[in-house]
Amino acid sequence: MTDGFWSDAERHLVRYIGAGRFVPEIIERAEGSFVWTAGGRRLLDFTSGQMSAILGHSHPAVVATVQRQAATLDHLFSGMLSRPVVDLARRLAASLPEPLEKVLLLTTGAESNEAALRMAKLVTGNHEVIAFGRSWHGMTQAAAGATYSSGRQGYGPAAPGNFAIPTPNAYRPDFTTPDGELDWRRQLDFSFELFDAQSVGSLAACIVEPILSSGGVIDLPPGYLAALRERVHARGGLLILDEAQTGLCRTGDWYAFQRDGVLPDILTLSKTLGAGLPLAAVVTSPEIEQIAHERGFLFFTTHVSDPLVAAVGNTVLDVLAADRLDDQATELGTYLRKGLIEIAGRHPVVGDVRGRGLLVGLELVLDRETRRPADELGAAVTRRCLELGLHMNVVQLPGMGGVFRIAPALTSTVDELSLGLEILDQAIGEAGRAVASR
């Protein structure tokens, strides 16, 4: 019984998903890898909420922390500090290579990227920002200015000095080697030749995700990040890595940049840090923080350094370490990828399987040879998955097929992954036949 739920939603809610629609189910509760609807249906959550609930929904340790902390200390004046905040800052620093040891705790990914870009501009004295053409860094001003995958049209001019460079997409290469593979070195040279032609010589930062998630789960080629940092530093800018979705064990490493051995000047964390609760962080070096402080760095919000979510962040670190969820993400990711490759073997509409650990992309195409996008099919598979009890998220960008972002909780079981693979396999087959028959 909906009791006028949908009519109230239609009448009173601002629609904030662009041309997308809300999932046509009322969600009543969630636990572990599943959410339950008002009608009693159980849905397997293959996106761990908004790619955030890495410990699953309502993890007992997180629930206990919230109950305890909310009853003692939940929110403070922004100039006051508490033990959970300082403890989390210390522990994040300990989990990272030196000199990343200065921490600012905020709430969302957009907020952390906003603060990081603001800091980079102040420290360098410059204003130009580079980001990928498939990037997503948030919807606040500077973060939105560095976001190119969607959401730019109709809002007037972005701040001057924002530049997009080509995304190194190995499945859809724009620069190729003689054997047809992505020539990312030549692409990167072209990117900075184009940037230099437009720049006024004022590069503040380059902000990138080690794996572009909303951009279609595109993993940067090994070696790319180091070459990118070299070019950014040569022009006086700072490298900001946005690990909203890749940080804290999801890729099999504690941080995705560890695979490349490339240290960012500023690191931003969000989604996974709070395991579904609003917690984000900016992490940088004492040298950068000192310059920012001397120049009067100003960035605080109503919920900066809030003790409640900081306590949750400490609990998240406890569970990740105690349960060795970095290793588990590697093992489960291997199982998931194997299952997806088997699905690709049965369905020619699956063009590519990519990603790391438990952040995996599966791209649908109309034809493997031409790699023509399959937007209609992606939407149809998503709907059929939901009907069968699996919540999936499909990214549909111009020039690409439907790319499923598969990001289960790190606490998932093999049986749960098997269930998701079984439903996805069935949905691709049934939706593919339905679309082909039209």
Closest CA to 57 of 42, 75, 38, 35: 35
Catalytic residue among 69, 187, 245, 328: 245
Distances 110 to 71, 139, 146, 438 between C-alpha atoms, Å: 29, 6, 11, 41
Strand ranges in 112-223 using DSSP code E only, listed in sequence order: 128-132, 162-165, 203-208, 211-212, 218-219
Catalytic residue among 121, 231, 356, 405: 405
Distant-in-sequence contacts of 257-264, Cβ < 8 A, 24+ apart = 257/210, 257/225, 259/210, 259/222, 259/356, 260/210, 260/220, 260/222, 260/223, 260/224, 260/225, 260/226, 261/226, 262/225, 262/226, 262/229, 263/97, 263/100, 264/100, 264/229, 264/239, 264/240
If you compute the radius of gyration of the chain from its CA atoms, what whole number of angstroms results? 22
Torsion angle of alpha carbons 406, 267, 296, 291, nearest 10°?
-170
The reply to whether omega before 173 is within 30° of 0 (cis) is: no
Catalytic residue among 45, 111, 128, 242: 242
Bridge partners of 240, per DSSP, are 207, 266
Catalytic residue among 45, 128, 136, 352: 136
Is the CB of residue 309 less than 8 Å from the CB of residue 270? no
Residue type, 145: G
**b (16+ CB within 10 A) / e for 117-136:** bbbbbbbbebbbbbbbbbbb
Write down the residue that tokens 């309502």 correspond to. 58
Q: Is 405 one of the annotated active-site residues of the chain?
A: yes
Q: Is 245 one of the annotated active-site residues of the chain?
A: yes
Q: Is 102 one of the annotated active-site residues of the chain?
A: no
Closest CA to 401 of 430, 419, 428: 428
Catalytic residue among 271, 337, 356, 384: 271
Closest CA to 118 of 102, 106, 129: 129
Residue type, 8: D
Torsion angle of alpha carbons 359, 318, 32, 243, nearest 10°?
-30
HEC readout, 11-63: HHCCCCCCCCCCCCCCEEEEEECEEEECCCCEEEECCHHHHCCCCCECCHHHH
Catalytic residue among 183, 209, 289, 363: 209
Active site amino acids: 136, 209, 242, 245, 271, 405
